[in-house]
A and B are shown apart, each in its own frame.
Chain A
Amino acid sequence: MTSAAMPQTSRRKTAPAGPAIRLVGLSKRFGETTAVDSVDLEIRSGEFFSMLGPSGSGKTTVLRLIAGFELPTAGVIELDGKDVSARAPFERDVNTVFQDYALFPHMSLIENVAYGLRVRGVAKAVRRQRAAEALEQVQLGSFLDRRPSQLSGGQRQRVALARALVVRPKVLLLDEPLGALDLKLRQQMQVELKELQQELGITFIFVTHDQEEALTMSDRIGVFNKGRIEQVGTPEEIYERPNGPFVANFVGTSNIFPGTLGRSLYGRDDRFSVRPERIQLRPLPPEGPGTGIALTVTALVYLGHATQVRGTLPDGTTAVALIPVTAGRGGEFAVGQPAVLSWNRQDVVWLPPAS
């Protein structure tokens, strides 16, 4: 996907006023289970928004509600300021890239991509032309008459993207589209997707359980847990200033220290977290831990770029530190040996009291 991708789509460079999507008190229940629990969210026009959360957190259901595959139990879905809560999927100006791509197996690639134009009554010559161009731009221009079954996962993913974008939606919904790809291809597609989104200026809503993916690609992230949104913010805000233990732990690993430690160190009763890479670790000097905190090493995990050191504090709290390979000090620690933890005051993130 080069910079000329999807030329049919008008370039909307800067976001106009008003959100592309507004969810108000959105809830969805399946029988006894509440999949989405009163979600309020505004997604700005032209932004790359990721919905991040573990399986069963409700992020995919929110996406399906926006697409119209499910109807909400309560709440309102506004698209460009218009209430579309009760509309059918084909009456909504959003398109979806499905997790399994859902390419029609009985149609060739060009028929798949032309499908949205065909059902809109676009003349055959025109729609074939536009579909061929769209496939050209995802580097599948020579595969027009192949069947989806003859393609690799990455190629199917591109076809699904071309098929959704050729009809020029206002919002593109992507349901874990990179989940089935291997790591290398996934990283490449992350970059391409982001570039494509910036080119087109279309609002992308991207569902993922991969925190790294969300951090890399998004303008903003909404972190989902148990059908609710825990926190909405830029990747930096989410990572550096998590608003609670769930976000702190789900987005990267975090050390969460108890309120008792907060009291003894800073005179404040709240829990706080410190990222493993912000922690300094050194072997216990003979004269005692000094200003640091003593810990017993319980495990050393070699990660390639760093060594992860896990340990237990005297009060039983577990802690994790990352020792970069450049520091070359992984060898100083051994399982069962004592060590000393320390960190800078500005790396402390205070967590609100557990509710």
Chain B
Amino acid sequence: MKLSRSARITLGTLTAVVLLFIYVPLLLVVINSFNGDRSFGWPPRSFTLEWWSRAFQSEGVREAIATSLWVALISTAISLVLGTLLALALQRHDFFGKDVINLLVILPIALPGIVTGIALNNLFTTVLGVSLSLWTVIIAHATFCMVTVFNNAIARLRRTNSSFEEASSDLGAGIFTTFRLVTLPQLRSALVAGGLLAFALSFDEIIVTTFTIGAGQQTLPVWILNNLFRPNQAPVVNVVAVVLIIASVVPVWLAQRLSGDAIGTTRSRKKASPGITKASSTAR
């Protein structure tokens, strides 16, 4: 599409403004984490690493990081297992109510966090009567982290030919062997991408977490919220925010690179496509 000069200038300016609004504040946080002035006077007059060392020496921060990592890792692991199984069931098999289940699985990512939070809080405390803990946070996170794994896995399964699985079965492999030797290698990069996204989602989640976390426990975002308005903690909060930025951006960036397609399979799929199209058109 050819755009006129004025349209290009307008769109370019808009893009620049939007990107500035997103990234300038982030940059500010990063700079302020090194700002020597305790009240963040602008422009910064001196540079210091004090806040960084204070942050790493803080028991509260270290515990919060460890908690967030633990929660993110376990909920990602649960999401990987359940998301893959769901994707396999919904893509490779036909059964009654399939479309409904498909929708129900994706829905949690669209639900407002506050709704998920309140609903799960009610379920855990009043219906099930379990006390809130890190495990309730993990379960809560898994409900929506699962979706990113599921979406990545099902997109990959749609593109890979199910005759690979038939061929494996035909050659004598049972269901689990076929999954291990044929299906999983095809899914691997999609699962890594989905898992990284799930990790990033869980690591910086706060709304659902505040409703499902036990008393006295803190994930990193919860720690930030609790310390944001304590004047003597403000510089440390900046440091923690920078850590959060890095912990979220890196997985997403990696995921985006991986979910495109694994290098090498793109080429083979392109080459094989005439055969595949033919197979599907004359299959029955």
Contacts and interface: CB of A to CB of B under 8 A. Distances in A.
Size category, A interface: 35 or more
Contact of B163 (A56, A98, A118): A98
Nearest to B276: A100
Contacts of A94: 170
Interface stretch (B23-31, B121-129, B177-185): B177-185
Nearest to B177: A119
Given A106-B185, A116-B171, A167-B171, A148 B274 contact: no
Given A56-B284, A119-B177, A100 B172 contact: no
A149 B271 CA distance: 7
A90 B173 contact: yes
B167 interface: yes
Interface in A1-53: 30, 35
A89 B169 contact: yes
B57 interface: no
Contacts, number: 106
A103 to B, nearest CB: 8
Nearest to A176: B282
Contact of A167 (B164, B168, B172, B177): B172
Interface in A82-110: 88-90, 94-96, 98-106
A61 B284 contact: yes
A291 B92 CA distance: 65
A147 interface: yes
A69 interface: yes
Interface in A111-139: 115-116, 118-120
B97 interface: no
A112 to B, nearest CB: 9
A60 B265 contact: no
Interface residues of B, number: 33
A227 to B, nearest CB: 10
B95 to A, nearest CB: 14
Contact of A105 (B171, B268, B279): B268
Contact of B265 (A89, A100, A105, A180): A105
Contacts of B170: 67-69, 89-90, 94-96, 164
B172 to A, nearest CB: 5
A78 B167 CA distance: 21
A249 B225 CA distance: 80
A96 B284 contact: no
A153 interface: yes
Given A30-B284, A60-B283, A149-B267, A100 B171 contact: no
B181 A119 contact: yes
Interface of A: 30, 35, 55-56, 58, 60-61, 67-69, 88-90, 94-96, 98-106, 115-116, 118-120, 147-149, 153, 163-164, 167, 176, 179-180, 209
Interface of B: 161, 163-164, 166-174, 177, 181-182, 185-186, 264-265, 267-269, 271-272, 274-276, 278-279, 281-284
16 contacts: A30-B284, A60-B284, A88-B169, A89-B166, A90-B174, A98-B163, A98-B166, A99-B278, A100-B276, A102-B164, A105-B186, A119-B171, A119-B173, A147-B264, A147-B268, A153-B275
